[in-house]
A and B are shown apart, each in its own frame.
Chain A
Amino acid sequence: MVKKVITGNSAAAYGVKLARVQVVSAYPITPQTTVVEKLADFVANGELNARFVNVESEHSALAALISASLGGARTFTATSAHGLALMHEMMHWAAGARTPVVMVNVNRAMGPPWNIWAEMTDSIAQRDTGWIQFYGESNQEVLDTMIQLYRICEDKEVMLPGMICEDAFYLSHTVLPVDIPEQEDVDRFLPPFESAYKLDFDNPVSIGSLSMPHQWYMELRYKIAESMENARKKIVEVDREFGKIFGRSYSGLVENYRGDDADLLLICAGTMASTAKDVVDEMRNEGVKAGLLRLRVFRPFPNAEIVNLVQNAKVIGVADRSISFGNQGPFFTEIKGALYGKIPTKLLKNYIVGIGGRDVTTNTLKSIFRNMASIKDHGLDEEVTWVDLKR
C-alpha cells in the first residue's frame, strides 16, 4: 500500500484508475477541473487504459456515458454546480436506462451571483433522479467510496447510477494523507462490469422506447424504487466487505460519533462533520453530552438508521449546507419525515450554515450546540436559524 498526500480530487482520480474505468467523459468546471486533468494525465501516460471523450458540455458528457454504459463499459464523470444542473435531464435518463454511471460531484453553490465555494444545493436538487448519493468527509473516504460505489451501483439488484460528493475546496483542493490501495486488492473486490443490457447483434434489444400509462412505465419506475431499497443493504454489505480487505470502513449509511448517550445530537454531512467531531469532544470535556450523526448517504435515505440512533437524544439539531427556498433545510425536512410516528416527539431544530462556502468553524458549531443546550432547558426558540448570518 502506498501513502500519498493528495487532494480529494486527486484521490477521486486514483479511484477511477483503480476501478479500471473504461470510458471517461467530463467537462471542466471549478472546483472539479483537477479531477479530469489528473485523469487526462493518467490516460496520456498510459497509466489508465480508458477512452477519454472530451465533450463540449456536461450534458453531453453524461449522455455519452449513458450510451457507453449501455455499450458495456464502466464509466466515470465528474462535475459541480452548474455542470450538474445542466446534466439534470440526463440524470433522470441514467437511472431510467439503468446505467451504473459513477460521478464525483464537487458540491458548489449555484449562481447568480457567481460563487465557486462549498454548498450542497447542487446535488440535493438531484434528489429525485434515481441516483445513489454519498457525501464524503475525507479524501480517503472519497477514494474508498468510489471503489465501493462501483460495486454497489453495478450490483445486479441495484443497477443504478451513483455519485460521491466532495465539499468544494475543503476536500477538492485540500491535501490529506491517503492510502492508495493495491490494484490487485481492488481487482479482487471489484469484478469487471457487466451491463444488464446486452449489445447483441444476433438478438437485438432496444432500450428506452415509449412506454404507456396503462403498461409498463409505472412498473418500470417501481423497479427503480425497489432497486434503491436493495441498495440500502448493499451499501452496508459492501462497506463491511471493503473493511475486511482494506482495513477501513465507514459504518454504512450513517456514522455515529458519540451519539448513543448524547442529549444534544447534531446531524450533518460532509466536511463540517469532521469539525463537529472536534467540537463534540470539547463539549464532552466540558461535561456537555454532545454527539454527532454524519449522513454518509442521502439517497437511499437512512430513515430507519436515524430513528434508531436518535432514541436517547433530548434535542436534535440538523445542520444543512443548503436551503430549500420556501421551506427549510432539505436534510431537516427529510429527518422530520423519518422520525414522524416512530419515536415520541422530540425537540428538533434546523441550522442553515455555510451557504456559498461561508466557513463553518468550531465557533459556528459551538454556537449551535449552545443553542441546542438552551432549547433543552427552555424549549424551542425558532424552528430554523441561519447561523453566522450578518444581522
Chain B
Amino acid sequence: MAKPTIPTEEYMLSGHMACLGCGAPLAMRYLLKALGKRTVVSIPACCWAVIPGVFPYTNLKVPLVYTAFEVTGASISGLRAAIDARGIKDVNVVGFAGDGGTADIGIQALSGAVERGENIIYMCYDNEAYMNTGIQRSSLTPFGAWTTTTPVGKTKFWQKTQKKNMVEIMVAHRIPYAATVSVAYPEDFINKVRKAAGIPGPKYIHAFAPCPTGWRMPPEKTIEIARLATDSCVFPIYEVEYGKYKITRKVVNKKPVADYLKMQGRFSHLGEEEMKQIQEYVDREWELLLKKEEFTKEW
C-alpha cells in the first residue's frame, strides 16, 4: 500500500457548486492543504465566488472574504494591514482570483500590492476565459480559441492575440517569488505554495486549472489535458525566485501542440496552418524560458 503523496487534511469540503471535472476546486484544495488553517482567503467575482455555495453556507474551513472583481490585490493588502496592526502572527493572507480578475480588470490592484511589497500570496487560477459569466475571452485566452466574445463566425473571429504572460509581468515587478503550477501536479503545486509561504513579501502563483465547460471537452479529461499542456510546453512549470529561473518539471519527450489542441472543442475550427503557427509560438516561448534558466543559473 502506497501512502498518499499529498496531505490528507481537507480544508475544502464537498457539496460545492463547481461544474463536473472543474479544475478550479482542485487548485483551492491543494492551496489550502499546503497552507493549513491559519489562512485567510480573499476571492473576487469569478467562478470561485459561486463555488463555495450560497449564503449562509461555505465550503471552506478557513475565513473567506469576498471582494469586488478588480480589487483582490487591494483586499489582501488591507487584510494584511489589519492583521499586522492587531499583532496577529503566523497568518497566510491569500488572494485567489481567476484570469480575468488577475490579468484584466484586477491587474492594477495586483500590481499595486506587489509593487508595495505586501506580505501576501496571490494565486491566479487560470481557466483562460471569463467562465463565471459564460466563457468570454480574457487577455489570458490563448491564440486561436473560440469564446462567446471571440466566436468563429464566417470571418474567423476567434482570439487573435497571444496569451499575456503574467509571471513575466510579476517578474518585472522584481517580485521575490513567482511560479506556475498545474492541477495535474499536486505535489509540485503544494511544494511551491509552501515555499512561497516561507518567503517574506509578495508571492505570485499562476495555477493552470482547466474548465471542461468552457474548453468544450469531457469532464474526465481535466487532468489529462493539464498534463498535456505541460508536456507540449504550452504551459511550462517553473519558478522564479528573486529573479532566478528554474524549470521544475523537465519536458523530455515534447508532445506536439496539435495533440493538446485537438482534445478541445474550443480549438476545433483551427486548420493545419494555425496549428503550425501556434506550435512555432510555443517553441519560441519555450526556448526563451530555457535561455532565461540558463542565463540566471549562477544567480
Do A and B have CB atoms closer than 8 angstroms in the complex? Answer: yes
Query: Could you tell me which A residues sit within 8 Å of B by CB distance?
Result: 22-23, 25, 50-51, 53-57, 59-61, 63-73, 75, 89-90, 93, 199-202, 204-212, 215-217, 220
Question: Which chain B residues lie closer than 8 Å to A63 at the CB level?
Answer: 67-68, 71, 74-75, 78, 109
Is the CB–CB distance between B83 and A71 below 8 Å? yes
Query: Could you tell me which B residues sit within 8 Å of A by CB distance?
Result: 37-40, 42, 49-50, 52-58, 60-68, 70-71, 73-79, 81-86, 88, 91, 108-109, 111-112, 115-116
Which partner residue on chain B sits nearest A89 by CB separation?
Answer: B68
Is the CB–CB distance between A212 and B54 below 8 Å? yes
Given contact pairs A206-B63, A211-B54, A201 touches B82 in the complex (Cβ within 8 A): no
A-B contact pairs, 30 of them (CB 8 A): A22-B82, A22-B85, A56-B111, A56-B112, A57-B108, A60-B77, A63-B68, A64-B77, A64-B78, A66-B75, A67-B79, A70-B65, A71-B40, A71-B82, A71-B86, A72-B82, A93-B67, A199-B40, A202-B37, A204-B37, A206-B58, A206-B64, A207-B65, A208-B65, A209-B53, A209-B66, A210-B53, A210-B55, A211-B54, A216-B56
Q: Which of A72, A209, A216 has most chain B Cβ within 10 Å?
A: A209
Q: Which of A25, A64, A205, A212 has most chain B Cβ within 10 Å?
A: A64
Which partner residue on chain A sits nearest B90 by CB separation?
Answer: A201
Is the CB–CB distance between A68 and B78 below 8 Å? yes
B39 to chain A, nearest CB (A): 8
Is the CB–CB distance between A204 and B62 below 8 Å? yes
Which partner residue on chain A sits nearest B118 by CB separation?
Answer: A53
Which partner residue on chain B sits nearest A198 by CB separation?
Answer: B63
Q: How far is the CA of A217 from the CA of B56 in the complex (A)?
A: 10
A248 to chain B, nearest CB (A): 30
Q: How far is the CA of A293 from the CA of B214 in the complex (A)?
A: 60
Is the CB–CB distance between B73 and A60 below 8 Å? yes
Question: Which chain A residues lie closer than 8 Å to B91 at the CB level?
Answer: 201
Is the CB–CB distance between A59 and B37 below 8 Å? no
Is the CB–CB distance between B109 and A67 below 8 Å? no
A103 to chain B, nearest CB (A): 14
Is the CB–CB distance between B112 and A200 below 8 Å? no
Q: How far is the CA of A66 from the CA of B44 in the complex (A)?
A: 13
Q: How far is the CA of A201 from the CA of B90 in the complex (A)?
A: 11
Contacting A70 at CB < 8 Å: which of B52, B79, B84? B79
Is the CB–CB distance between B78 and A65 below 8 Å? yes
Contacting B66 at CB < 8 Å: which of A68, A75, A206? A206
Question: Which chain A residues lie closer than 8 Å to B53 at the CB level?
Answer: 209-210
Given contact pairs A63-B74, A201-B37, A206-B52, A55 touches B67 in the complex (Cβ within 8 A): no
Given contact pairs A55-B112, A207-B65, A216-B55, A67 touches B78 in the complex (Cβ within 8 A): yes
Given contact pairs A67-B78, A73-B81, A208 touches B67 in the complex (Cβ within 8 A): yes
Is the CB–CB distance between A50 and B79 below 8 Å? no
Q: Which of B56, B66, B78, B112 has most chain A Cβ within 10 Å?
A: B78
A130 to chain B, nearest CB (A): 15
Question: Which chain B residues lie closer than 8 Å to A53 at the CB level?
Answer: 77-78, 81, 116
Question: Which chain B residues lie closer than 8 Å to A57 at the CB level?
Answer: 108-109, 112
Q: How far is the CA of A61 from the CA of B56 in the complex (A)?
A: 28
Is the CB–CB distance between B84 and A51 below 8 Å? yes
Given contact pairs A54-B116, A61-B74, A73-B85, A205 touches B63 in the complex (Cβ within 8 A): yes
- Knowing that A202-B37, A209-B54, A209-B57 touch, tell me 7 more A-B residue pairs with CB under 8 angstroms: A23-B82, A23-B85, A53-B81, A63-B75, A67-B74, A200-B63, A208-B67
Q: Which of B67, B77, B116 has most chain A Cβ within 10 Å?
A: B77
Is the CB–CB distance between A64 and B75 below 8 Å? yes
A36 to chain B, nearest CB (A): 15
A209 to chain B, nearest CB (A): 5
Is the CB–CB distance between B74 and A55 below 8 Å? yes
Question: Which chain B residues lie closer than 8 Å to A220 at the CB level?
Answer: 55
Question: Which chain B residues lie closer than 8 Å to A66 at the CB level?
Answer: 67, 75, 78
Is the CB–CB distance between A55 and B77 below 8 Å? yes
Is the CB–CB distance between B60 and A50 below 8 Å? no
Is the CB–CB distance between B66 and A204 below 8 Å? no
Q: Which of B37, B52, B83 has most chain A Cβ within 10 Å?
A: B83
B173 to chain A, nearest CB (A): 12
B82 to chain A, nearest CB (A): 3
Q: How far is the CA of A255 from the CA of B48 in the complex (A)?
A: 49
Which partner residue on chain B sits nearest A195 by CB separation?
Answer: B82
Is the CB–CB distance between B54 and A207 below 8 Å? no
A343 to chain B, nearest CB (A): 43
Q: How far is the CA of A72 from the CA of B82 in the complex (A)?
A: 6
B159 to chain A, nearest CB (A): 28
A80 to chain B, nearest CB (A): 19
Q: How far is the CA of A98 from the CA of B278 in the complex (A)?
A: 49
Question: Which chain A residues lie closer than 8 Å to B71 at the CB level?
Answer: 59-60, 63-64, 90
Which partner residue on chain B sits nearest A61 by CB separation?
Answer: B74
Is the CB–CB distance between A60 and B81 below 8 Å? no
Which partner residue on chain B sits nearest A70 by CB separation?
Answer: B65
Q: How far is the CA of A208 from the CA of B83 in the complex (A)?
A: 19
Question: Which chain B residues lie closer than 8 Å to A200 at the CB level?
Answer: 63
A313 to chain B, nearest CB (A): 45
Is the CB–CB distance between A208 and B66 below 8 Å? yes
B174 to chain A, nearest CB (A): 17
Which partner residue on chain A sits nearest B82 by CB separation?
Answer: A71
B124 to chain A, nearest CB (A): 18
Q: Which of B39, B53, B63 has most chain A Cβ within 10 Å?
A: B63
Is the CB–CB distance between A68 and B81 below 8 Å? yes
Q: How far is the CA of A168 from the CA of B67 in the complex (A)?
A: 31
Q: How far is the CA of A377 from the CA of B68 in the complex (A)?
A: 55
A72 to chain B, nearest CB (A): 6
Q: How far is the CA of A208 from the CA of B56 in the complex (A)?
A: 9
Q: How far is the CA of A54 from the CA of B118 in the complex (A)?
A: 11
